[in-house]
Amino acid sequence: MKGQLLLHLLFQVFWVFVFADVWKVKVEHEMKALVSSCVVLPCSFQYPGTRQPSARTRGIWHKKDKWDDYVYSEDKTLIVDNFKGRTRLVGRLGALNCSLEIDEVKGHDNGPFCFRVELQTSEKDKYSFVDNCVHINMIEQASQPELHSDQAVQEGHPAIFRCSVRHTCPSYQPTLTWNHNGHNMMSFKDIGHGNWEVESILTFTPTKDDDHSDITCTVSYHGVRDKFAAIRPIFVKAEQTDVNHILIPVFCVLGAALLAGGLCFFIGKRCNATTAPTARYSCE
Ligand SMILES: *[C@@H]1O[C@H](CO)[C@@H](O)[C@H](O)[C@H]1NC(C)=O
């Protein structure tokens, strides 16, 4: 146990001195983005030496092939025209977070884009992470949501419908709406590698009127005018008729009573028929 602890400690020290004390960036090399919507490129970084506050850290995103083509810079005048007003650093540099948001994504925004950090401590403390850049694959056409439900639902019993979409724009999550009233629960989930999932769960109790109707889940993406819908027909199984609900218990009770009565009658008859005391005793 002690040895394990020591090993663990040694490893940590090793890690701090050998790996942490270097210029390093962590990004997703391939991202998907929906044209005209937004995309957030996750990014975190490290540098040698003492941690600097945000005010002393400058973050820049530039194109890989042209280091002077700034896609993002604190100084807006340095950003290339095509990206002016469309990029924002959503991560806090002081927290070593360099995540970049690109809004109103255009079909030719593919990149690759690289992060560059400049520390205001001395002239030397600058680094462009050109070995770890982000390439964006464009999605021209948004996809409809995925809708899961049972087609056959039971009248009078709560039915659950689940609708979800995946996207890469966590700053403006897509909204999901239903064409049917009910209890509605939305959730947003980070599913890793810059991908997110929005899910809406609709619960309602179907009536006869819902039979052969359509359940529709519609998604609306940030920046995209068209809406996309998934449609499922539902069939409502009628509730078991009231007659059965009453008749079955009634039959049960009646049957049991008849059986008991018959048994008693039969036994009583047998007991009466015999005069032997032993026989009467066994009947009791
Ligand atoms: C970086 O910042 C973004 C936006 O605030 C956040 O979603 C993300 O979780 C942060 N990443 C890390 C590694 O903390």
Look up residue 256 and give its amino acid: A
For the record, the structure tokens of 127 come out as 């680094």
User: For residue 170, which atom of ligand 1 is closest to its CA?
Assistant: 7
Distances (CA, A) of 242 to 24, 154, 254, 256: 71, 15, 18, 22
Q: Which residues pair with 136 in a beta bridge?
A: 31
The residue to mutate among 43, 46, 97, having the most atoms of ligand 1 within 8 angstroms of its beta carbon, is: 97
CA torsion 48→53→58→62, rounded to 10°?
70
Q: Which residues pair with 171 in a beta bridge?
A: none
Does the beta carbon of 26 lie inside 6 Å of ligand 1? Answer: no
The residue to mutate among 96, 99, 171, having the most atoms of ligand 1 within 8 angstroms of its beta carbon, is: 99
Please enumerate in sequence order all residues whose Cβ is within 8 A of that of 32, keeping only pairs 6 or more positions apart, or say none. 39, 136, 137, 138, 139, 168, 195
pLDDT in tens, the chain (284 residues): 556 655 665 555 555 555 557 899 999 999 999 999 999 999 999 998 888 888 889 999 999 988 999 999 999 999 999 999 999 999 999 999 999 999 999 999 998 999 999 988 765 688 889 999 999 999 999 989 999 988 888 999 999 999 999 999 999 999 999 999 999 999 999 999 999 999 999 999 999 999 999 999 999 999 999 999 999 999 999 876 655 566 666 666 776 777 777 676 666 665 454 444 444 444 43
Does the beta carbon of 91 lie inside 6 Å of ligand 1? Answer: yes
Task: Give, using CA atoms, the residue closest to atom 2 of ligand 1.
Answer: 91
Does the beta carbon of 97 lie inside 6 Å of ligand 1? Answer: yes
Vertex 128 angle, CA 45 and 50, to 5°: 45
Does the beta carbon of 99 lie inside 6 Å of ligand 1? Answer: yes
Find, among 19, 36, 52, the residue nearest to 172 by Cα. Answer: 36
Q: Kindly give the distance from the C-alpha atom of residue 60 to the centroid of ligand 1, in angstroms, as a whole number.
A: 17
Q: Kindly give the distance from the C-alpha atom of residue 42 to the centroid of ligand 1, in angstroms, as a whole number.
A: 7
Q: Kindly give the distance from the C-alpha atom of residue 90 to the centroid of ligand 1, in angstroms, as a whole number.
A: 8
pTM for the whole structure: 0.76
Does the beta carbon of 44 lie inside 6 Å of ligand 1? Answer: yes
